[in-house]
Structure 1
Amino acid sequence: MADVTRLMVRLDGPEGATLTVKGRVAWTLDQLLQAGEAGCTPIERPAPRWSDYVFKLRKAGFSVETIDENHGGSYGGSHGRYVLRSAVEVIEEVRR
Structure 2
Amino acid sequence: MMKDAKLTVRIRIEPDGQPMTFIGRDAWCLLRLIEAGERGCTPIDQPAPRWSGYVHKLRKAGVYVETIHEGHKGDFPGNHARYVLRSTVTVIDQERAAA
Are 1:5 and 2:7 counterparts?
yes
Q: Residue 29 of structure 1 aligns to which amino acid in structure 2? A: L
- Distance across 1 between alignment mates of 2:51 and 2:85: 13
Query: In structure 2, how many angstroms separate the alpha carbons of the residues matched to 1:4 and 1:87?
Result: 24
Return the alpha-carbon distance in structure 1 between the equivalents of residues 58 and 68 of structure 2.
Answer: 16
Please report how far the alpha carbon of residue 4 of structure 1 lies from its aligned counterpart in structure 2 after TM superposition. Answer: 7.0
- In the alignment, which residue of structure 2 is the partner of 1:29? 30
Query: Who is 1:79 aligned against?
Result: 80
What letter is aligned with 1:41? T
In structure 2, the residue matched to 1:63 is 64
The question of 1:20 aligning with 2:21 is answered yes
> 1:94 is aligned with what amino acid?
E
Provide the alpha-carbon RMSD of the alignment.
Answer: 1.4
- Highest CA radius of gyration, 1 or 2? 2
Provide, for residues 8-30 of structure 1, a one-character-per-residue CA deviation record: whole Å limited to 9, x for no partner. Answer: 001122x2111000000000000
Runs of 4+ displaced beyond 4 Å: none
- What are structure 1's unaligned runs of at least 5 residues? none
Displacement of 1:31? 0.3
Q: Report Cα offsets for 1:41-83 as digits up to 9, x if no partner.
A: 0000000000000000000000000001011111110000000
Cα 1:16–1:43 change in 2 (3 A) is same
